[in-house]
Amino acid sequence: MARGCGVVLLIFAILVCVVGGIGTVIAITEINRDGGQQLAVFIIVDVFGFGLLVSSLIFLHYATKAAKIAESVQKLISVPTGDPTGSYPAGVLVTYHLDTTPYTVEYTPPGKGKNSRPSVLTISTPMDCPYEFHMVVETWFDRFCRRLGIAVEVETGDPQFDEHCFIRSDNPAFVEAYLQDPLKRIAILDLRRWGFNDLMLDRGQLTAKWIGFNPAVDHRPELRDEVAARLLVLSRNLPAPQPEFDVRVGAHRVRWQAVLWLALVGLALTVFSLIPYTPIHFGELLVRALLLGVIAWPVFAYLSAWLLSGTSRSHLAWAGLMIGSLFLFPLGCLGVVAVVNGWFDNSPATEHHAQIVEKYTTRSKNSTNYHVRVESWHTPGDTESFQISSSEYSQVTPHQSQLLVVTHEGCLGIEWFESKRVIAKP
């Protein structure tokens, strides 16, 4: 978990550093035009990104060190692996019976290499119930979001039970009534004491999982039947049906989750507005998009948390949305600035007959891009670069050909071009 958080922090830090680095390079080329205002903004972004990067690397270092220490301790105590008992055939679903009630046992061995995963022992039994719940070990993220009011935990009023279990369910009325039975709470705590920290009811199947189960160490002859007995206790003597049991509190969360994801994707798609409203100087657009993002992203995070809050799964939906927004929101900010700057621009078109001083090509993975560099119509001695087609490129003679560029001032003061074409010999 600690290394996972460190990796997420590292990815975000790298993203900030990349944006800041690109912006700094662009701002340096624009320093004569804006007096270094853009450069000052991106230097702040660079410092923040570098600090975040160093912090994430330190965090990862100590998290990795702790993991290595734990691994070394594991090796020192020489814990055997595999299934010497022969009681858990790998990947085979085996059916047993207890009091004429069937239950199944399946052991999934650990994966190694790229598909590394812990081993899992799964024991399931049928449960005649149309509702659902998922009981897991409470994590720091569960506690954090509960304190913020994003997640609302289903509680039983039993401090010992509530301390060990975080219950996720869209049928909280049923779960609250279900767990009023002290025998059921004791059965769940027994399962946790034995290592089965994941308990789920879904589609009429009650399932307990022991993640990290090692047959060579954890097997007991009576384990299988003891777990099955607790599952039978949990699957019987259900509370009498009540109208409030059928109320699914997660309906509003699912609805708003879909709306927010559509809004986020739609926002990101506005980046294609850079095609009709291409800025002459991308750095100017990037600075305004960055300022918009710094203001708008926290607002989006707060608004989405408020709209999704109120259920025991709200924080999971919010977390996924926030991770997606780290990649989609920057694209949306660029697109929104470009749309506002071009769509609401009422300035007249201006033609510039710019002298072409150089032509050059760049290579991507599967194609060649053609460019020309022209004299700037803003600052004498400076140049502007434009991409052109291969057919136009063949017509260009540096210092003789011109590029006719039709531009607009831009609603936000970001100059953008409407069209461009090569004039071979004026």
Confidence of residue 378 (pLDDT cuts 50, 70, 90): confident
Q: What is the mean pLDDT of the chain?
A: 85
- Dihedral of the CA atoms 383, 421, 343, 42 (nearest 10)? -20
Which region among 85-94, 299-308, 310-319, 392-401 has the lowest average model confidence (pLDDT)?
85-94
Q: Is the pLDDT of residue 365 over 50?
A: yes
370 vs 305: CA distance, rounded Å: 46
Is the predicted pLDDT of residue 124 greater than 50, yes or no? yes
pLDDT in tens, 135-162: 998 888 888 898 889 999 888 888 888 8
> 29 pLDDT band (50/70/90 cuts)?
low
Span 167-191, mean pLDDT?
A: 93
78 pLDDT tier (thresholds 50, 70, 90): very low
CATH 1.20.1060 fits 350-423, yes or no: no
Is the pLDDT at 100 greater than 80? The verdict is: yes
| % of the chain with per-residue pLDDT over 90 | 51
pLDDT band at 75 (very low <50, low <70, confident <90, very high): very low
Instruction: Inform me whether the pLDDT recorded for 71 exceeds 60.
Output: no
Q: With 90 as the cut, is the pLDDT of residue 282 above it?
A: no
What's the rounded mean pLDDT across residues 364-386? 86
Q: What is the residue extent of each domain of the chain? A: 1-78, 94-246, 250-343, 350-423
- Residue 13 is predicted with a pLDDT of 74
Can you give the length of the chain in residues? 426
**Per-residue pLDDT for 82 more than 90?**
no
pLDDT of residue 76: 42
Give pLDDT tens digits for 212-256. 999 888 988 899 999 999 999 999 999 998 999 988 888 899 999
The confidence band for 418, taking pLDDT boundaries of 50, 70 and 90, is: very high
Cα-only R_g, the chain: 31
At 307 the pLDDT is 95
pLDDT at 311 over 80: yes
Give the per-residue pLDDT at 183: 94
Question: What's the pLDDT score for residue 157?
Answer: 85
Least confident segment among 36-45, 57-66, 381-390:
57-66
Residue 253 confidence (pLDDT): 93
pLDDT category at 69 given cuts 50, 70, 90 is low
Closest among 396, 410, 412 to 360, alpha carbons compared:
396
Average pLDDT over residues 350-365: 88
Find tokens 């069209």 and name the residue.
Answer: 419
pLDDT band at residue 12 under the 50/70/90 scheme: confident
